[in-house]
């Protein structure tokens, strides 16, 4: 088994996890669960939300559930952050393992000429029994848009009748359909060009948090205002729904089962506890997304294992797990939001500097008790 990963380094890395750490995590997983699938996460911070959720280390916010066993095996201190991958591992138990290779603040555009190292890791290591989850493209609009994207977004936000968005006939939609269909399709095809996985779950982004639902500050406040979202959120929300229908649901990858996933069904823009900085999933938001993913993953794992009694029992317990952890999550939600919300882009560098200093100073180890809720 690989040497255990330094927990502080694993979570304080801003853009995804380092490739050596990901490789070590995968090696530990394969040594413990050689015949079980790995759920690879690819894309941007809609899946790589670890920066935006609080630490569970000493002095941080306690986790609302027991630490999944895979973290006890892989990390030198069993204090994972409650990101999307954490919640998937909580729900999966020992049936499969979620491994995050999504990259915070990344775009489709920067992958046009060449894949990121994290993408190449997936391409080189994904197996026939594995599952790939992809969520990408929103940063091409909100963070680093091209001139053409800015022009079409202005058209969509301010000059397009709502009825034409609903009908899917708006001229400006074509630009975004090409982005979320053709460009995403090209990106995903390159991820699986060497090995075809069991299935690919391709996501359309959730709605941003509405201005009237919260006072959260965000690095995305300016682009959200620019897109008219603060005044009439329904315009962008309708466009997102239509892009899901015209783009995401039309993606096809030869030789692979593709499952479209509408994340706006989990995060609808009206619940403050689901978000940090208006556009990033909080711990609670990540939990809801993981539950949505599990609806598809359960059926895929069941089909792959032939519907064994253990698998069927695990499938039946996911809904009861969700109810059990909902109460715990709600109790800790206020603490989580106090710890994580209200941090704008202007304070991000300061937080990262403090985190780095803390990482260098952490030498003590701790052992946590308990087992996962999904044995």
User: Across the 375 residues of the chain, what is the mean pLDDT of every consecutive 10-residue run?
Assistant: 91 98 98 98 99 94 97 98 99 99 98 98 99 99 98 98 98 98 99 99 99 97 98 98 99 98 98 99 99 98 69 51 52 46 41 41 36 36
Euclidean distance between the first and the last CA atom of the chain, given in angstroms as a whole number: 22
pLDDT for res 338: 46
pLDDT for res 339: 45
Q: Chain-centre distance of CA 211, in angstroms? A: 22
Q: Which residues contact 131 (CB under 8 A, 6 or more apart)?
A: 37, 38, 39, 40, 96, 197, 198, 199, 200, 201, 297, 300
Q: Which tokens is 93 given?
A: 């138990």
pLDDT for res 310: 52
pLDDT for res 258: 99
Whole-model pTM over 0.75:
yes
Instruction: State the CATH class of domain 7-361.
Output: alpha beta
DSSP string, 115-174: --HHHHHHHHH--TT-EEEEE--THHHHTS--HHHHHHHHHHHHSS-HHHHHHT--TTHH
pLDDT for res 354: 43
Q: How far apart are CA 111 and CA 183, in angstroms?
A: 10
Query: Nearest Cα to 101, choosing from 87, 86, 84, 118?
Result: 118
Q: Which tokens is 305 given?
A: 């294992």
């Amino acid at each position: 088994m690989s040497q255990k990963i330094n927990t502080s380094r694993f979570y304080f890395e801003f853009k995804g996890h380092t490739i050596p750490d990901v490789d070590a995590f995968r090696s530990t997983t394969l040594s413990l669960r050689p015949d079980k699938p790995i759920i690879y996460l690819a894309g941007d911070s809609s899946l790589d939300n670890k920066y935006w959720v609080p630490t569970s280390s000493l002095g941080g916010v306690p986790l609302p559930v027991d630490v999944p066993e895979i973290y006890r095996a892989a990390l030198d201190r069993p204090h994972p952050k409650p990101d999307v991958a954490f919640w998937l591992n909580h729900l999966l138990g020992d049936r499969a393992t979620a491994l995050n290779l999504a990259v915070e603040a990344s775009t489709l555009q920067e992958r046009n000429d060449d894949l990121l190292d994290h993408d190449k890791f997936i391409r080189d290591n994904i197996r026939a029994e594995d599952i790939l989850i992809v969520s990408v493209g929103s940063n091409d609009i909100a963070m680093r848009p091209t001139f053409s994207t800015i022009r079409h977004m202005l058209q969509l936000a301010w000059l397009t009748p709502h009825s034409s968005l609903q009908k899917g006939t708006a001229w400006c939609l074509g630009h975004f359909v090409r982005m979320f269909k053709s460009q995403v399709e090209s990106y995903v095809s390159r991820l699986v060009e060497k090995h075809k996985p069991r299935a690919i779950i391709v996501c359309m982004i959730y709605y941003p948090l509405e201005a009237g639902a919260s006072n959260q500050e965000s690095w995305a406040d300016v682009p959200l205002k620019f897109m008219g979202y603060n005044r009439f959120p329904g315009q962008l929300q309708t466009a997102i729904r239509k892009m899901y229908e015209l783009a995401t649901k039309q993606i096809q990858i030869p030789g692979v089962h593709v499952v479209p996933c509408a994340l706006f069904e989990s995060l609808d823009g009206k619940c403050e506890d689901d978000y940090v900085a208006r556009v990033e999933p909080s711990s609670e938001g990540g939990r809801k997304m993981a539950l949505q993913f599990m609806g598809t993953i359960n059926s895929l794992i069941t089909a792959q294992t032939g519907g064994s009694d253990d698998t069927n029992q695990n499938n039946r317990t996911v809904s009861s797990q969700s109810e059990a952890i909902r109460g715990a999550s709600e109790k800790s939600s206020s603490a989580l939001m106090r710890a994580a919300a209200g941090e704008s882009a202007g304070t991000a560098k300061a937080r990262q500097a403090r985190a780095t200093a803390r990482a260098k100073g952490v030498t003590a180890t701790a052992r946590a008790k308990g087992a996962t809720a999904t044995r």
